A and B are shown apart, each in its own frame.
Chain A
Amino acid sequence: MAAKERRIILKNIDRPGYGNDIDSYLEHGGYEMLKRALQRKPEELRDEVKASGVRGRGGAGFPAGMKWSFLDFKSGKPIYLVCNADESEPGTFKDRQIIHKDPHQLIEGMLISAYAITAKLAFIYIRGEFPEGAGILERAIEEARGANFLGANILGSDFSCEIYVHRGAGAYICGEETGLIESIEGKRPYPRIKPPYFPAALGLYMCPTIVNNVETLCNVKHIVEMGGEAYAKIGRPGNTGTRIWCVSGHVRKPGYYEFEGGALTLGELIYDVCGGLHPDRKLKAVIPGGSSMKILRADERFRGKDREGNEYDLGLEDLVLDFDGIALSGSLSGSGGIMVMDDSTDMVEALANVSSFYAHESCGQCTPCREGSLWLKKILERMARGQARLEDVDLLKSVADQIPGRTICAFGEATAWPVQSYVSKFRDEFIAKAEQQAAGRTGGNGRSAEQVRLV
């Protein structure tokens, strides 16, 4: 049996009777850590976060303490903190739970973080599709201001800080931190080139800026509570703390689950925690970290040497659930969105769906992503419509290969990785589809073109 959930971030979420108002939060020890943090020096808090080893929960898994250490404290310019609440990666729905059900946890985490990085102004950039969440945050901020947890001279200290909620307008790319910064500045969210525009030096309004994910900022509160070293003991080295996994797709109990780093395997998560697949279905594939990550095939073996030099030979279900564990598969745990597909899934249609999303969301700033994403979508939609050609299989791969590593931001990878991985891992299925269509020129799975509806 798998390890039990360890709820740190989700501790009060879904607890019967726990509301998202400040009273519920205060009843459960809310804002105590802010009080404690204000007694300490900002640099001490930064050291705690560094010692905790907490990695960013937005997707890239970059150590948050190290990100903070890049901040240019000597520029003389104001320092900004931005909370990235643009949770847009398909398959990811963890930040939404925090925002809706425990907003004060985020606000407390942000205030402590702002104090630690000496920011007087902080933003919560929330995706446009979360109007309810934005309202909840606005109300929570007002509540916190009423209790002097926010505003001028917080709790009688010298520290003053404001938090503004900035709503997006419905663009995935706003989750990219420099695109997000441009969006706050009121411009099109075109990601910036790095170098030279690293946010820690030239961020919001060209001032030093830290952009952290919702879950990451919530963790800061708990790091202060436990102390960085104690926090670092949770989970595995390099994968400290807990992670919230969002499981969706063909499992019986999809949902969000919080586990210590490395506490269980992907197989245990799917079968023991999420109740396994539906009757008479077989596991076909898993996307381990949001739809942009490389897909894993149920029957493939992952072989190689890990960081310590130990050889490994793992199946999909053996993969340990944390950053490094999933990385052994050649994919990444990304934003924690685990999407499970059983054998009823048509991989061509699934990929057409994913590519359609990324073509729609490409900001269009740089050439490979702008043109590549739409081209891929057009090919895949044509294949799904029943007009597949045998050469499309290699063409897809070749077009996708021209994108990653050549774009301004990581969206290039997000648009290419699914295509590269689906096509290479399910090549036989793509070829079979092309051949079948060429033979009958009917739609996918024997359906007519009209029946194949793309989302």
Chain B
Amino acid sequence: MSNDNQPELVTVYVDDREVQVPPGTNMIEAAAKIGVEVPHYCYHPKLSVVGNCRMCMVEMGMPEKDRATGQPVLDDEGNQKIMWMPKPAIACATKAMPGIRIKTDSELTRSCQEGVMEFLLVNHPLDCPICDQAGECRLQEFATDYGRGYSRFVEEKNVKPKRTVLGPRVMLDDERCILCSRCIRFCQEVADDDVLGFVDRGSYTTLTCYPGKQLENNYSLNTVDICPVGALTSMDFRFRMRAWFLKETHSICTESSVGANTVVGSREGTIYRITPRRNDQVNDTWMADSGRERYKQVEAKNRLLHPRVDGAETADPEAAVAAASRLLQGGKGIAFVGSGRCSVEEQYLFRKLADQVGAKSRALVSRVSEGDGLLISADRNPNVRGALVTGLIDELPGRELSALATGIDSGELDTVVVYNEDLTAAGMTAEQLDKITVIYLGTHANPTSDRSQVALPTLTVFEKNGSFINQQYRLQKFFQAVPGPAGAPGDLRTLAGLLAGNGLQGHPGIDDVWEEMSEAIPAFSGLRFMKIPSGGLPLEVPSRLRDLPYAEGKTLHYEPAGGEPAAV
């Protein structure tokens, strides 16, 4: 056989095209490897295989072997004879074996696909005009690709429950459900919250929640994502925007140091939803419900929309930056408090500014809580490791900013620059803040910004480009989905302004920051922002950083350090 040289791969054939895959790969994945889509509903790469939708049926053949000798049987021209099975096989449960073949477009395959499509549609309400799934509905898509285009069904359709509230975030329309059981398997296998199931029988089978229970776990909206039809809809998103109008922007979830990869859906400057983006090294195809709500911070009531100097709003950001620069120049003991929610680029410039003005201390606000073992880690800051790599901090942040408090109380510190954090929530008192000059950079107003002499508005993760380093020391980038408030010029520009105000020109954009960082930081050697792959880039960092006692416990695709270095 041809695969003798590569024992780790087997050769299979999809429509007579050779594909090399690891043995045991299912034929949907094998076909996908050469860009051939085998239509399917119930199969999901991250869930168990049940084979119930029958949409992936294909004609399947095996190389014929002589039963007695085991030798390959050849045809007249000396080619391997293929024994084509009279019955179709489901590609999802057909494992790659040497020489196995499938036909994804043969007469038998197409007849199976047409049959299944017709069956799926006979009791479907066909309410696409009012269905949220329209535009991203597998039923719609495959009906177009594989359906017969007209209905032969003249009977009455089944009637099932509509608008069933499954939980605080998920709504169910049973008439649209094609009973693929993806959501049930997700709850059992991923969320470990087995609350969904089928009741009744045959075509009257109905998806429902167990009596007395709700689909309310923090991963419930993943069922909406994986629902191939419009049966499960997000109560936050339904009826708000047509899927095809959404601009999709790659982003990173800021819920925790997991750094789930996401897609932000926006239209005309408004974000409508956040959905997970597949990354098999980080979050598979999932994300937490809480992370999906994060877009609401963009239009939150306490958003800082304009710079403030001495409590008064100003329309001139540059004047505000100049005012802040003057305060920095007048400061005798300056402390910098950075944020684990800031991007790598911002942390780098912030540190640089601290060095430039001769800051006496640099700190980071810790945000440690309990992890859920899945996609929310114990460290709720998405980018503590960025602060370590950029040198903004040298050790893990403590629970409280006690050194800062001591410095203020002793009079050693008279100025503090706070980046998007609330010091009163980090152990400082309002009286302590009143004793000093506070320069605040941040997205939202808080007790600290209220007490600041200068407050400079910054942008949320959805309004700028940047990168985070997650718990695996994976550098991941996010992009601007929507424009920021008119009064906020952008974090990097604000920081560059402060640097310039203190005698250091340069850094107008993210590429310039990266050019400098790739020189200054060994882990970023040779890197540019645009060079970071969409799936992220595992960084090589010194063991001094790797071996720190991080807060994270085990999560999906992450084993905490301790014996083993943090997995990449």
Chain A residues with a Cβ under 8 A of chain B = 171, 188, 190, 193, 195-196, 359-368, 370-375, 378-379, 382, 395, 398-399, 402-403, 405-408
Does B19 sit at the interface, judged by CB under 8 A? Answer: no
| Cβ–Cβ < 8 Å partners of B123 in chain A | 371, 374
Chain B residue with Cβ nearest A193: B51
Instruction: Determine if B205 and A368 form an interchain contact, defined as CB atoms under 8 angstroms apart.
Output: no
B50 at the interface (CB under 8 A from A): yes
List CB contacts (< 8 Å) of B179-207 with chain A.
Answer: 179, 197-198, 200-205
B119 in the interface, Cβ–Cβ < 8 Å?
Answer: yes
Q: Which of B49, B88, B122, B198 contacts A371 (CB 8 A)?
A: B122
Task: Tell me the minimal C-beta distance from A454 to chain B in angstroms.
Answer: 15
Contacts of A402 on B, CB cut-off 8 Å? 111, 115-116, 118-119
Report the separation of the CA atoms of residues A193 and B120 in the bound assembly, to the nearest whole angstrom.
Answer: 20
Cβ-defined contact, A408 with B118, below 8 A: no
Q: State in angstroms the CA–CA spacing of A378 and B119 once bound together.
A: 14
Binds A, one of B53-61, B310-318, B361-369, B387-395: B53-61
CA distance A196 to B57 in the complex (A): 16
Contact of A193 with B179 in the complex, beta carbons under 8 Å: no
> Of B75-83, B150-158, B294-302, B439-447, which binds chain A?
B150-158
Return B10 CB to nearest CB of chain A, in Å: 16
Which residues from B are CB-within-8-Å of A363? 201-202
Using known A-B contacts A364-B204, A370-B203, determine if residue A405 contacts B87 with beta carbons closer than 8 Å: yes
Secondary structure class of chain B's binding surface, majority of residues: loop
Given contacts A372-B119, A405-B88, 15 further A-B contacts (CB under 8 A): A188-B198, A360-B201, A362-B201, A364-B202, A364-B204, A366-B54, A367-B55, A367-B119, A367-B179, A368-B119, A373-B202, A378-B156, A402-B111, A405-B87, A408-B51
Please list 17 pairs of residues, one from A and one from B, whose beta carbons are closer than 8 Å in the complex, sorted by A's number: A193-B50, A359-B202, A362-B202, A364-B179, A364-B202, A364-B204, A365-B50, A367-B52, A370-B179, A373-B203, A374-B158, A379-B155, A398-B152, A399-B152, A402-B116, A406-B115, A408-B51
Q: Are A371 and B51 in contact (CB under 8 A)?
A: no
> Would you call B246 an interface residue if the criterion is a C-beta within 8 Å of the partner chain's C-beta atoms?
no
A-side contacts of B100, CB under 8 Å: none
Question: Which 9 A-B residue pairs are closest in the complex by CB-CB distance?
Answer: A402-B115, A371-B119, A364-B205, A378-B155, A374-B203, A362-B202, A405-B87, A193-B51, A364-B202
A367 touches B204 (CB 8 A): no
| Chain A positions within 8 Å of B417 at CB level | none
CA distance A370 to B123 in the complex (A): 11
CB pair A370–B205 under 8 Å, yes or no, is yes
By the criterion CB–CB under 8 Å, are B49 and A193 in contact? yes
A364 with B115, Cβ < 8 A, contacts A196-B93, A375-B155, A395-B152 known: no
CA distance A374 to B198 in the complex (A): 18
Is A193 in contact with B178, judged by CB distance below 8 angstroms? no
CB distance from A416 to the nearest CB of B (A): 11
For B197, the chain A residues whose CB sits under 8 A away are 188
- A362 / chain B contacts, CB cutoff of 8 Å: 201-203
A368–B114 Cα distance when bound, in Å, is: 11
Residues of A within 8 A of B57 (CB): 406
Query: Who on chain B is nearest to A360 by CB?
Result: B202
A193, A363, A365, A367 — which one has the most chain B CB atoms within 10 A of its CB? A367
Residue of A nearest to B201 (CB): A364
Q: In the docked arrangement, what's the CA distance between A374 and B53, Å?
A: 16
Q: A370-B179, A378-B156, A406-B88 are in contact. Are A365 and B52 (CB under 8 A)?
A: yes
Residues of B within 8 A of A361 (CB): 201-202
Contact with A along B324-360 (1 / 0, CB 8 A): 0000000000000000000000000000000000000
- Shortest distance from the beta carbon of A388 to any chain B beta carbon, whole Å: 12
Contact with A along B34-55 (1 / 0, CB 8 A): 0000000000000001111111
CA A359 to CA B123, docked complex, whole Å: 14
B112 at the interface (CB under 8 A from A): yes
Instruction: Assess the B155–A364 pair: CB atoms within 8 A.
Output: no
Asked if residues B52 and A371 are in contact (CB atoms below 8 Å), the reply is no
With known contacts A367-B178, A378-B156, A405–B86 Cβ distance under 8 A = yes
- Once the chains are docked, how many angstroms separate the CA of A16 from the CA of B259? 79
Is the pair A375, B201 in contact by a Cβ cutoff of 8 Å?
no
Q: Report yes or no: A195 in contact with B53, Cβ–Cβ below 8 A.
A: no
Q: Is the CB of B203 within 8 A of A364?
A: yes
- Chain B interfacial positions (CB closer than 8 Å to A): 49-55, 57, 86-88, 90, 93, 95, 111-112, 115-116, 118-120, 122-123, 152-153, 155-156, 158, 178-179, 197-198, 200-205
Residue numbers in A under 8 Å from B50 (CB-CB)? 193, 365
Is the beta-carbon distance between A407 and B93 smaller than 8 angstroms? Answer: no
Smallest Cβ-Cβ distance to A381: which chain B residue: B155
A371 engages B203 (CB within 8 Å): yes
- A171 — nearest CB in chain B belongs to which residue? B201
Chain A residues lying within 8 Å of B198, measured Cβ to Cβ, are: 188, 364
What distance in Å separates the Cβ of B229 from its nearest Cβ neighbour in chain A?
13
- The one of B53, B152, B156 in contact with A366, judged by C-beta atoms closer than 8 angstroms, is B53
Q: How far is the CA of A193 from the CA of B94 in the complex (A)?
A: 11
- Give min CB distance, A394 to chain B, whole Å: 10
Q: A193, B203: Cβ atoms under 8 Å? A: no
Identify the closest chain B residue to A359 (Cβ). B202
Q: Is the CB of A195 within 8 A of B93?
A: yes
Q: How many angstroms between the C-alpha atoms of A316 and B538 in the bound complex?
A: 74
In the complex, A403→B119 CA distance in Å? 10
Looking at B118, B119, B152, B178, which has the most chain A CB atoms within 10 Å of its CB? B119
A371, B120: Cβ atoms under 8 Å?
yes
**CB nearest neighbor in A for B117:** A367
Give the docked Cα–Cα distance between A361 and B153 (Å). Answer: 21
Asked if B52 and A408 sit within 8 Å, CB to CB, the answer is yes
Taken together as a complex, chains A and B put the C-alpha atoms of A195 and B112 apart, in Å, by 19
Residues on A with C-beta less than 8 A from B152 are 395, 398-399
CB pair A370 B202 closer than 8 Å:
yes
Residue numbers in B under 8 Å from A406 (CB-CB): 54, 57, 87-88, 112, 115-116
- Say yes or no: A367 contacts B87, CB within 8 Å: no
Q: How many whole Å from B15's CB to the nearest CB in chain A?
A: 20
A377 CB → nearest B CB, Å: 9
A407 with B54: CB separation less than 8 A: yes
Give the residues in chain A near B153, CB-CB below 8 Å.
375
Closest A residue to B206 by CB, please name it.
Answer: A364
CA–CA, A234 and B88, complex, Å? 38
With CB as the reference atom, state the residue of chain B lying closest to A173: B201
User: Which residue of chain B has the shortest Cβ distance to A392 in the bound complex?
Assistant: B154
Assembled-state Cα–Cα distance A367/B177 (Å):
12
Q: How far is the CA of A396 from the CA of B203 in the complex (A)?
A: 18
- With a cutoff of 8 Å between Cβ atoms, the chain B residues found around residue A374 in the complex are 123, 158, 202-204
Tell me the nearest residue of chain A to B180, going by C-beta. Answer: A367
Residues of A within 8 Å of B122, CB to CB, are: 371, 375
Complex CA distance for A424 and B205, rounded to whole angstroms: 31
In the bound complex, how far is the Cα of B559 from the Cα of A66, in angstroms?
47
B206 CB, min distance to chain A CBs, angstroms: 9
Task: Give every chain A residue within 8 A of B95 (Cβ-Cβ).
Answer: 195
Residues of B within 8 A of A171 (CB): 201
- The distance from the CB of A288 to the nearest CB of chain B, in whole angstroms, is 23
**Cα separation A90 to B54 with both chains bound (whole Å):** 28
Complex: A366 Cα to B203 Cα, angstroms: 10
Query: Which residue from chain B places its CB closest to the CB of A362 in the assembled complex?
Result: B202
Q: Considering only CB atoms, which chain B residue lies closest to A187 in the complex?
A: B197
Question: With a CB–CB cut-off of 8 A, which chain B residues contact A407?
Answer: 54
Q: How far is the CA of A407 from the CA of B478 in the complex (A)?
A: 45
Rounded to whole angstroms, the CA-CA distance of A361 and B202 in the bound complex is 7
Q: How far is the CA of A94 from the CA of B88 in the complex (A)?
A: 35
A304 CA to B152 CA in the complex, in Å? 36
CA gap between A382 and B54 in the complex, in Å: 28
Residues of B within 8 A of A188 (CB): 197-198
Residue numbers in B under 8 Å from A382 (CB-CB) = 155
Query: Which residues on the A side are within 8 Å of B90 (C-beta)?
Result: 193
**Residues of chain A contacted by B201 (CB below 8 angstroms):** 171, 360-364
How many angstroms between the C-alpha atoms of A375 and B122 in the bound complex? 8
How far is A370 from B87 in the complex, measured between Cα atoms in Å?
A: 19
> Nearest Cβ in chain B — how far from A74, in angstroms?
21
- Closest residue of chain A to B57 (Cβ to Cβ) is A406
**Which one of A367, A372, A375, A403 contacts B53 once the chains associate, using CB atoms below 8 Å?**
A367
